[in-house]
């Protein structure tokens, strides 16, 4: 499906050859006060929109024939659907459950800009949460609330700079039941940070069609058999880092400079969970917290790296 659909409509300028995403043109025209639909850069004539696939292609093996053509994944989700049955058969999980993955994704973006907001190689965090079809709407509301809370309560992002944007009929994928973006107010405007999607049984059904064996689930609760529905949360790890940094920047006035003007300095005010604390200032120590035991120890910053290497080396899975 990605080879057919993972694409953006693009237009080219016939004169200066600059390439634009069609959905970005409206904004650029408005910005530059252009009303005749011409090139925002040079005023030249634009071509009709053409589909431009966002996937990177390469070849596997020493011979670059068409048989060895492969694609770098444009998102991490597909591996989760492929492994659904393995996880059910070996993980002793019962619906509802989720499979989450963090990893690299690659997109052949034509406009990479705004620092690490849009890059060709980035880090994604995706989760597919599998539910009974009649529980999909409830799970969707639950994950909307939990993901928003993650940004506000865990990362300490300011509430007023976050909002939900519901996809309209023109933005919604044909199989999607409902979709919301969590948007952040970046210095360059409100843009997506994470997507929460109610995807029905589309992906598992399609995977079943192509591998020739329907993928379904026998629910031990009532012995019913169904294809689980999916609530997906898809977030940019790279973007979360960007947002955490941007949100922490503050300007503070610290008196006056020698000309009597306010002396303003820029400081980073991180959320207390992320930032060094008051003891750090006194004795140069930080807290090291162990995930499994929740035990906390104070460690001098100077020996932090060494201590972490030791703990990782000696770590034993329970």
Distance CA 126, CA 301 (A): 33
The structure tokens listed for 112 are 């990479």
Q: Examine residue 10 and tell whether it contacts Zn ion (CB under 5 A).
A: no
According to the binding rule CB under 5 A, does residue 11 interact with Zn ion? no
145 part of the interface to Zn ion, by CB under 5 A: no
Contact residue for Zn ion among 10, 29, 44, 75 (CB under 5 A):
44
Q: For residue 250, how many C-alpha atoms fall within 13 Å in the half-sphere facing its CB?
A: 11
Residue 141 within binding range of Zn ion, rule CB under 5 A: no
124-153 b/e (C-beta count within 10 Å ≥ 16 → b)? bbbbbbbbbeeebeebbeebbeebbebbee
41 interacts with Zn ion by CB under 5 A: yes
How many residues belong to the site for Zn ion (CB under 5 A)?
Answer: 7
- Does position 15 bind Zn ion by CB under 5 A? yes
User: For Zn ion, which stretch binds (CB under 5 A), given 9-17, 90-98, 110-118, 138-146?
Assistant: 9-17
Q: Least CB distance from residue 119 to Zn ion, whole Å?
A: 25
Q: Which is nearer to Zn ion, 17 or 59 (CB)?
A: 17
Give the nearest distance from C-beta 34 to Zn ion in angstroms. 11
Q: Which residues of 178-200 are buried (b: 16+ CB within 10 A; e: fewer)?
A: bbbbbbbbbeeeeebbbbbbbbb
Question: Are 101 and 126 within 8 A, CB to CB?
Answer: yes
Determine whether 117 is exposed, middle or buried from the number of CB atoms within 10 Å of its CB (0-12, 13-18, 19+). buried
Dihedral sign of CA atoms 27, 169, 109, 44 in order? negative
Which CB sits closer to Zn ion, 45 or 214? Answer: 45
Could you tell me the smallest distance in angstroms from the CB atom of residue 188 to Zn ion? 22
> Does residue number 135 form part of the binding site for Zn ion (CB under 5 A)?
no
Q: Is 42 in the site for Zn ion (CB under 5 A)?
A: yes
Residue 64 found at the interface with Zn ion (CB under 5 A): no
Instruction: Provide, rounded to whole angstroms, the least separation between the CB of residue 8 and Zn ion.
Output: 19
Stretch that binds Zn ion, among 29-37, 44-52, 250-258, 285-293 (CB under 5 A): 44-52
Q: How many angstroms separate the CA atoms of 195 and 235, rounded?
A: 6
List interacting residues with Zn ion (CB under 5 A): 13, 15-16, 39, 41-42, 44
């Amino acid at each position: 499906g990605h080879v057919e659909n993972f694409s953006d409509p693009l237009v080219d300028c016939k004169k200066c050859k600059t390439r634009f995403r069609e959905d970005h043109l409206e904004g650029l025209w408005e910005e530059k006060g252009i009303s005749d639909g011409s090139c925002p850069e040079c005023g030249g004539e634009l071509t009709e929109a053409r589909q431009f696939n966002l996937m990177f292609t390469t070849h596997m093996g020493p011979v670059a024939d068409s048989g060895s053509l492969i694609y770098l994944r444009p998102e991490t989700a597909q591996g989760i659907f492929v492994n659904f049955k393995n996880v059910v058969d070996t993980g002793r999980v019962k619906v509802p459950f989720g499979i989450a993955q963090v990893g690299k994704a690659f997109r052949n973006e034509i406009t990479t800009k705004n620092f690490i907001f849009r890059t060709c190689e980035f880090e994604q965090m995706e989760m597919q949460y599998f539910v009974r079809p009649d529980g999909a709407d409830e799970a969707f509301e639950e994950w909307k609330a939990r993901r928003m809370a993650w940004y506000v309560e865990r990362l300490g992002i300011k509430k007023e700079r976050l909002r939900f944007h519901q996809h309209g009929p023109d933005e919604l994928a044909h199989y999607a039941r409902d979709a919301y973006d969590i948007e952040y107010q970046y210095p360059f405007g409100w843009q997506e940070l994470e997507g929460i999607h109610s995807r029905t049984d589309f992906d598992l059904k399609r995977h079943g069609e192509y591998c020739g064996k329907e993928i379904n689930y026998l629910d031990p609760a009532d012995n019913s058999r169904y294809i689980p529905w999916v609530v997906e949360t898809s977030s940019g790890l790279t973007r979360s880092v960007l947002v955490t940094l941007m949100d922490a920047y503050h300007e503070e006035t610290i008196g006056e400079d020698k000309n009597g003007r306010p002396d303003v300095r820029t400081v980073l005010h991180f959320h207390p969970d992320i930032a060094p604390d008051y003891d750090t200032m006194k004795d140069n120590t930080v807290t090291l917290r162990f995930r499994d035991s929740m035990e906390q120890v104070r460690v001098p910053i100077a020996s932090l790296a060494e201590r972490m290497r030791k703990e990782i080396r000696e770590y034993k899975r329970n």
